[in-house]
Structure 1
Amino acid sequence: MGGEWDRRSLLRGASVAAGAAVIAPLLGRAGTARADGDADALFKAGEFEQAGRAYEEILKKDPANVHAARRRGHVGLLVNDFPEAEKYLKQALELAPADKETNQLLGDCYIRQDEFAGSVPCWQAAGEDVYAQWFGAVSGAPYQIHGDTARVPWRQMDPSPQVEASVNGGPPKRFMFYTGAPWLGMSAEVAEEAGLRAVAKQQIDYLNGTAWQYFGVLDFFRLGDIELRNIPVEWSETDQASPAGPSDGIIGTWIFYHLLTTFDYAGRSLILRRPTAGTAAKVRADAVRAGAKPLPLYLAHEHGLHSRGSVDGSGTQVVGLSIGGVSESAAVVPGETAERLGIRVDHDRPVETFAHSRPTVTYPCYPKEIRLGDAAARGVYCMTNPNSRPPRSGFDVLATFFHPFYKPYNITLDFTRMNLYITPGKAA
């Protein structure tokens, strides 16, 4: 596993400047990509539908093109189109059975559908032994939902939103939530109290030191009137202080994509619903009445949320969404993008921080406007990272929006239709 922070080593609220290190400058241009019809340029520019069609055309002429098959499967996976994702990823795997990236994508495709046993050979082929052991240890149906709706009040807003939850029927514990994290994670103390047994473990780099991560299966996790059963869970031990401050654990995207989730920042509550056709229809109707338009939702590499937004007249492009977590800045913008858009950067006030457990220096910056659909923030405090690393996803990300941006709104994630709704004020 190599201790890769961006896949495995996020611990209990270590968001810090995570977004700063995973956002790449916009090297491609959507307009150019449309003109030359290049499938990779379309994908890189975030024009996923057009890219998918372009890869299909390549495969008609060259059915043995592993890259085109893998990328076409990746396009399907971004929007949870599992039949299409499986079709093309399996085609790529037949052509190159040992290809690690294809195996990772197909493994992700299986775990999103709770087909954990099917994912195990993929993780083994990808060299992800911890994942193979972990998901292979889950027996029976995972993420069983009991209850229909829960409205869980936040116990605090800053430095990170926190809610109370019960682990294996125990007393309430404080959990932060963060869509920059994949799994449900907790402290070693909570895990011991819950009687958890490790089925896999690994040591990773974490901030200025190291940490041990342990992986197991939790019987019960209760949030208000919703209870989830048979859940993959992570716990950790480290002598490094969490940037989130005291908390008992972290709730990541894997929990939220099993539910119809509303992060009601304005109402300071987390609203969880069983994802039925009826509840989804009501959410859409409520959003329409409130004037919110559905925005596309993309899910990259297990837990990375994306949609479309803009910064300072950039035009609508792919943006990252880090909901919850810890951040004082409303967005992180790559250094090259900040320079290209003429965003004011305060180079006299460097901020030393960590991203991917590596020290980095970021700088305050002040875009005139950052926008997600009809939700906008003007002249807000943001950060820019001149040393942004290329994202694993393979497509450009204009900026990533963080915790402070969402405070006047409520945000609903519909992983069935892959739509996002952001609405001003409290949720209905």
Structure 2
Amino acid sequence: MTIDRRSFLAQAGLTTGAAMLALLPGESASAISPLGGDPDQLFKAGKFVQADRAYARLLRENPADARALAQRGRIALLSNRFEQADRFLAEAVRLAPRDAFAKRQLAECHIRQDDLPPAVPLLRGTGEETDAAFADQYASVTGAPYRLQGAQATRLPFVCVDPLPCVRVSVNGAEPQPFLIDTGATLALSSATAEQAGLRAVSTSTTHPAGQTLTTYHGVMRSLGLGDITLGTVPVVWYELRMPSLPDGTQPAGVIGTTLLYHFIATMDYAGQALVLRRKTAAQARQAWAVAARGGSDRLPLWLAGDHVPCTLGSVNDYGPRVASVDTGGMGMGIMMTEENAKRAGVEIDYDHPQGSGGMTSYPITPARIGLGRAVGKNVPGVVGAWPWLDLFGFETVGNFTHEFLKPRAITFDYANMNLYVTAKAPTTKERQPRR
């Protein structure tokens, strides 16, 4: 849960087809929702299929409804259905050229496909400083970004599992250094690492996380070495922000976040203590699923909220399955909930032991049961607090499933097919090895 790349972009959605997976148990595609036909309420509740159909009805009545178009694009972008997202969002921008949200969503549609040039004028057109900084960064990229070289798959052993998983990564061909892995973050370096690598900032932006003033520097790495795979021409940010120390007391050189991981079929194998990165090919996707299935995993939907927060379906006690986020950076905890959802799920809140973090008060919880598919944890420690997920994503989540819940398991983010696998049991050593 380190600093994100564009918190103001953290709004998203999905569409039909793969979106059918978003139906909650007992629903059919033609089910009548108790929320009626209000598309905004359906989207807020995470009923993406029904919301998409409701926005489609609005567009049949008024094809020039720019907001309904933007929302359908937002929904398509959740599951990386880029053709649909581009079509809806481009038309929304054409009809409402001052709509900064639609422009950001359309820019993100291009960025996720590593098609940076079209994103530049869109980001420059929002009037936001941070957007402009990213626009300058992307405009400075020469050639294709994230050029993939090397093996079909690679396995990077964990340096440690706590406080967060950590692997060794090479910046610009230098000796590999320890990087934390955090799916709630983006790819980022410490200022010291950037200086050692000779990186030059092409732009800067200022944000205010938890009441701090943070200057972020934007640039481009020549290469990033990940075991047997190397990425060339990689946009990156760096800043002066203290990260959690490693067990030996040293500071990590940076963070590997979802904006890097979504270029792969990525497995965080906590039980086997390794990060496995596979190219997004049909063969590698089949192998990843075969390993996960032998570990007792379900095939769950994967949605990408904003530019970097993965989501799926999860349950707490008997509440759910509902949309849940999977930000793995929650150190020392396995579940994070809002007070309202904890009460809905019948979770007791320990108000006698308040905790303070980042200017927010939270309270301990220990739900009897939490689960992602068949992967179930009992009495996993967590916290409740005023988490801003609704404001960030635009839809409600049952909670965030994170570090302590995942430690006995392996979790795979299949960004080729937008599926998520969480093993109910640890795979064997032989099963963990990727085919190269």
Give TM-score, length-normalised by structure 1: 0.88
Kept in 2: contact 1:243–1:326 (CA 8 A): no
SS at match of 2:393: coil
- The alignment status of 1:172 with 2:173, answered yes or no, reads no
CA deviations on 1:183-240 (whole Å, 9 max, x unpaired) are x2111111111111111112332456433211100011111111111000111125xx
SS at match of 1:218: strand
Q: How has the CA–CA distance of structure 1 residues 74 and 234 changed in structure 2, closer, same or farther, with 3 Å as cutoff?
A: same
Q: How has the CA–CA distance of structure 1 residues 185 and 388 changed in structure 2, closer, same or farther, with 3 Å as cutoff?
A: closer
Q: Equivalent residue for 1:20?
A: none
Kept in 2: contact 1:261–1:412 (CA 8 A): yes
SS at match of 2:271: coil
- 2:243 alignment partner AA: S
Give the CA deviation at 1:260. Answer: 1.2
Kept in 1: contact 2:153–2:276 (CA 8 A): yes
- 2:184 alignment partner AA: G
**Inter-partner Cα distance in structure 2 for 1:44 and 1:9:** 18
- The alignment status of 1:269 with 2:286, answered yes or no, reads no
Q: Equivalent residue for 1:116?
A: 116
Q: 1:196 aligns with which of 188, 194, 199?
A: 199
Q: Equivalent residue for 2:147?
A: 144
**Inter-partner Cα distance in structure 1 for 2:236 and 2:163:** 24
- The alignment status of 1:281 with 2:306, answered yes or no, reads no
- The alignment status of 1:297 with 2:302, answered yes or no, reads yes
Q: Equivalent residue for 2:19?
A: none
Q: How has the CA–CA distance of structure 1 residues 203 and 220 changed in structure 2, closer, same or farther, with 3 Å as cutoff?
A: same
SS at match of 2:304: strand
Q: Equivalent residue for 1:57?
A: 57
Q: Considering fraction of residues, name the structure with more strand.
A: 1
Kept in 1: contact 2:381–2:404 (CA 8 A): no
Give the CA deviation at 1:9. Answer: 7.6
**Inter-partner Cα distance in structure 1 for 2:52 and 2:386:** 31
Kept in 2: contact 1:335–1:387 (CA 8 A): no
Q: Equivalent residue for 1:373?
A: 373
**Inter-partner Cα distance in structure 2 for 1:269 and 1:116:** 31
Q: Equivalent residue for 2:11?
A: none
Q: Equivalent residue for 2:87?
A: 87
Kept in 1: contact 2:107–2:120 (CA 8 A): yes
**Inter-partner Cα distance in structure 1 for 2:59 and 2:268:** 41
Kept in 1: contact 2:157–2:273 (CA 8 A): yes
- The alignment status of 1:396 with 2:391, answered yes or no, reads no
Kept in 1: contact 2:35–2:42 (CA 8 A): no
Residue correspondence of structure 1 range 18-417 to structure 2 within 5 A: 33=33, 36-126=36-126, 127=128, 128-147=131-150, 148-182=152-186, 184-207=187-210, 209-238=212-241, 241-244=242-245, 246-323=251-328, 325-354=329-358, 359-386=359-386, 388=388, 390-417=390-417
Give the CA deviation at 1:156. Answer: 0.7
| Larger RCO (CA within 8 A; separation ≥ 6) | 1
Of residues 263-272 and 380-389 in structure 1, the stretch that sits farther from structure 2 once superposed is 380-389
CA deviations on 1:104-162 (whole Å, 9 max, x unpaired) are 11010000011100101111122211111111111211111112211100011111111
Kept in 1: contact 2:4–2:185 (CA 8 A): no
Give the CA deviation at 1:248. Answer: 0.8
The unaligned stretches of length 5 or more in structure 2 are 9-26
Of residues 269-278 and 336-345 in structure 1, the stretch that sits farther from structure 2 once superposed is 336-345
Kept in 1: contact 2:326–2:402 (CA 8 A): yes
- 1:191 alignment partner AA: A
**Inter-partner Cα distance in structure 1 for 2:107 and 2:413:** 23
Give the CA deviation at 1:59. Answer: 0.6
Kept in 2: contact 1:9–1:206 (CA 8 A): no
**Inter-partner Cα distance in structure 2 for 1:178 and 1:90:** 32
**Inter-partner Cα distance in structure 2 for 1:178 and 1:244:** 14
SS at match of 1:74: helix
Kept in 2: contact 1:9–1:204 (CA 8 A): no
The unaligned stretches of length 5 or more in structure 1 are 11-29
**Inter-partner Cα distance in structure 2 for 1:9 and 1:415:** 21
Kept in 1: contact 2:389–2:397 (CA 8 A): no
**Inter-partner Cα distance in structure 2 for 1:93 and 1:235:** 31
- 2:107 alignment partner AA: G
CA deviations on 1:158-192 (whole Å, 9 max, x unpaired) are 1111111111111121100111112x211111111
**Inter-partner Cα distance in structure 2 for 1:368 and 1:161:** 26
- 2:325 alignment partner AA: G
Give TM-score, length-normalised by structure 2: 0.87
Give the CA deviation at 1:340. Answer: 2.7
User: How many percent of aligned residue pairs carry the same amino acid?
Assistant: 39
SS at match of 2:122: helix
Q: Equivalent residue for 2:15?
A: none
**Inter-partner Cα distance in structure 2 for 1:278 and 1:390:** 37
Give the CA deviation at 1:34. Answer: 5.2
**Inter-partner Cα distance in structure 2 for 1:416 and 1:230:** 21
Kept in 2: contact 1:33–1:41 (CA 8 A): no
Q: How has the CA–CA distance of structure 1 residues 208 and 69 changed in structure 2, closer, same or farther, with 3 Å as cutoff?
A: closer
Q: How has the CA–CA distance of structure 1 residues 140 and 384 changed in structure 2, closer, same or farther, with 3 Å as cutoff?
A: same
**Inter-partner Cα distance in structure 2 for 1:395 and 1:35:** 14
Give the CA deviation at 1:35. Answer: 5.7
Give the CA deviation at 1:284. Answer: 2.1
Give the CA deviation at 1:47. Answer: 1.4
